[in-house]
Amino acid sequence: MTITDRPDHEVRPTQYRRALVAGSVGNFIEWYEFGVYGFLATIIATNFFATAGGSDLEALIKTYASFALAFFFRPVGAALFGRIGDRIGRRPTLVLVLLVMSGATTVIGLLPTYASIGIGAPLLLTLVRVVQGLSAGGEFGGAVSVMTEFAPAGRRGLFGAWQSFTVAAGLLFGAAVSAVLALSLSTAQLTGWGWRLPFLLALPLGLVALWLRLRLEETPSFRRLERSPDRSTGPTAQLAAPLTGSPGAGEVAKAIALGIGRLMGWSAAGYTFLVVIPAYLQTSLNATFLQALTATVLANAGFAATILPAGALSDRLGRRPVMLTGTVLILVLALPLLNVLQDPAADLVLKGAAVLVAGAVVGLIAGPGPAMLSEMFPTTVRYTGLGLAYSLSNAVFSGSAGLIITSLIAATANIDIPAYYVMAVCAVSAVALATLRGRAHERALRD
């Protein structure tokens, strides 16, 4: 097998490690916060969306609507920060994204509740979620660009997998913080003020991340682009070209659409199994908060365990077989695994194994996913292109997962809805993944 990735001779080992850490840290904070919001969804619903005469389920649906809205602003952030990152560089853009994201998360911990200011509380929360969505949209494209553009020859899948691994790490850390609060505080304390602490923790985390990103150097791929005598084919020209009929821009738009298709199974299954399940277990299966949180920790542990091996395996076998295997396994296992959770007679060990396996199969898609996306776009539009593909997929199939599942359960009383949702999306995603061809994992990233 011949690998021709050019960054290998340009980058020192210390730069590889620095790129991994600096690229990962912002993503860790982002998913820590999004995880905390999901884990504490029922408490946030009580504080911000519960109205007189309304049910707990109605408040939870409103909470997930706010959750989904933030995701729908991710593509806007991906386009905005992606253009900046493709024009002035990955490093300064990622610093800006981090400042916005950490600041917005901290503000959530300071917001007044519905009991204090009425309708203004959910409006303010939704506004801050919008800002978070914008910054999160700019995070993925930059972080993956940094990791894959710095990656040594033959290890792009493994390096890109660290982005997905920090998703699991952030969610697990969020679950751990939530569990500590649930064990340390009474229900009244947790509902009254304890829920604020995880969001306020974003401030010191953000300061550490800022220090790490300020030490990051610009990527070899972008430096080569800066030295290019002609940058007329840069991101502004390519992304605006659909208006003028440029075939190059058409190829970028097609790659974004195809990227969405290849990622949608990961988006739907990841959020359903890793974030939505806690509220589902509480509202539909009458589990306690700690039981739901324990299930989530196990799912995320399974997810984390397979991500890096899957990324490394895709460097040897290619992205297609590894990602397609994960998607097909989700199709086959989603309903049986959910039925285990629903069975009151099932052993607790068996239920724990079910959520562990659910997370593990998602990791098979998430490991190779970032490198697969990076290989679909040239340097001139990589930040923007892969950021848009990822954020649009997440907006539709992750951000809406809680809203869709909870609303359908309320309308149909069918508690199998989470499995049906994941299976339907993964069936489409499997078709898109089957179109992966060639040996892109062996070739250099396109300039």
pLDDT at 15: 77
Place of tokens 């997930």: 64
- Token pair, residue 363, equals 């990791």
Which segment of 1-10, 47-56, 142-151, 206-215 scores lowest on mean pLDDT?
Answer: 1-10
Give mean pLDDT, residues 408-432. 91
* Between 419 and 45, residue with greater pLDDT: 419
pLDDT at 67: 66
Residue by residue, DSSP assigns 388-426 as HHHHHHHHHHTTTHHHHHHHHHHHH--TTHHHHHHHHHH
Residue 347 is assigned to a structural domain of this protein: yes
Residue 14 is assigned to a structural domain of this protein: yes
- Mean of the per-residue pLDDT values for the chain? 83
Place of tokens 């809205």: 69
* Between 390 and 342, residue with greater pLDDT: 390
Residue 447 is assigned to a structural domain of this protein: no
pLDDT band at 406 (very low <50, low <70, confident <90, very high): confident
Q: What is the CATH number of the domain that holds 375?
A: 1.20.1250.20
What CA–CA distance (Å, rounded) separates 100 from 130? 11
Give mean pLDDT, residues 47-76. 71
pLDDT at 239: 43
Which segment of 19-33, 170-184, 227-241 scores lowest on mean pLDDT?
Answer: 227-241
pLDDT at 274: 77
* Between 171 and 353, residue with greater pLDDT: 353
- Token pair, residue 107, equals 């503000």
What CA–CA distance (Å, rounded) separates 343 from 254? 44
pLDDT band at 432 (very low <50, low <70, confident <90, very high): very high
> What's the N-to-C CA distance of the chain in angstroms?
22
pLDDT band at 367 (very low <50, low <70, confident <90, very high): very high
Residue 304 CA, distance from chain mean position: 13
**Residue 356 pLDDT > 80:** yes
CB 445 within 8 A of CB 148: yes
- Token pair, residue 389, equals 């593909």
pLDDT at 241: 42
The enclosing H or E element of 263 equals helix 247-271
Residue 399 carries which side chain, given as an amino acid letter?
G
C-alpha torsion 313→317→319→322, nearest 10: -60
pTM of the model: 0.82
pLDDT at 315: 94
pLDDT at 2: 39
**Residue 388 pLDDT > 90:** yes
What CA–CA distance (Å, rounded) separates 274 from 197? 22
Give mean pLDDT, residues 350-373. 92
What CA–CA distance (Å, rounded) separates 365 from 130? 28
Residue 369 is assigned to a structural domain of this protein: yes
pLDDT at 444: 77
pLDDT at 428: 95
Domain tally for the chain? 1
CB 81 within 8 A of CB 142: yes
What CA–CA distance (Å, rounded) separates 75 from 121? 25
Place of tokens 């969804």: 41
Which value, in Å, is the radius of gyration of the alpha carbons in the chain? 21
pLDDT tens digits, 79-97: 999 999 998 989 999 999 9
Give the other-Cβ count within 10 Å of 247's Cβ.
Answer: 7
What CA–CA distance (Å, rounded) separates 406 from 404? 6
pLDDT at 8: 43
pLDDT at 355: 86
Give mean pLDDT, residues 26-48. 82
* Between 238 and 221, residue with greater pLDDT: 221
What CA–CA distance (Å, rounded) separates 216 from 106? 24
**How far is residue 16 from each of residues 220, 277, 387, 417, measured CA to CA in Å?**
11, 36, 22, 43
Residue 1 is assigned to a structural domain of this protein: no
DSSP classification of residue 443: S
Q: What angle do CA 291, 328, 428 make, to 5 degrees?
A: 100
pLDDT band at 410 (very low <50, low <70, confident <90, very high): confident
55: left (phi over 0), alpha (psi -120 to 50) or beta: beta
What CA–CA distance (Å, rounded) separates 307 from 89? 28
Residue 256 carries which side chain, given as an amino acid letter?
I
* Proportion of the chain above pLDDT 70, given as a percent: 87
pLDDT at 233: 47
pLDDT tens digits, 191-206: 899 999 999 999 999 9
pLDDT band at 159 (very low <50, low <70, confident <90, very high): very high
What CA–CA distance (Å, rounded) separates 157 from 124? 40
Residue 166 is assigned to a structural domain of this protein: yes
pLDDT band at 408 (very low <50, low <70, confident <90, very high): confident
DSSP classification of residue 45: I
Give mean pLDDT, residues 61-69. 69
* Between 239 and 313, residue with greater pLDDT: 313
CB 314 within 8 A of CB 368: yes
For 40-119, where are the alpha helices, taking DSSP H only?
Answer: 41-44, 56-72, 74-88, 90-108, 114-117
What CA–CA distance (Å, rounded) separates 296 from 302? 10
pLDDT tens digits, 121-147: 888 888 898 898 899 889 989 999 999
Give mean pLDDT, residues 310-339. 94
* Between 319 and 292, residue with greater pLDDT: 319
- The dihedrals phi and psi of 148, each to the nearest 5 degrees, come to -80, -30
- Token pair, residue 92, equals 């300064």
Residue 99 is assigned to a structural domain of this protein: yes
**Residue 30 pLDDT > 80:** yes
Q: What angle do CA 244, 246, 250 make, to 5 degrees?
A: 115
CB 279 within 8 A of CB 402: yes
Q: Which domain does 350 fall in, by range?
A: 6-223+233-442
**Residue 6 pLDDT > 70:** no
pLDDT band at 440 (very low <50, low <70, confident <90, very high): confident
* Between 159 and 280, residue with greater pLDDT: 159
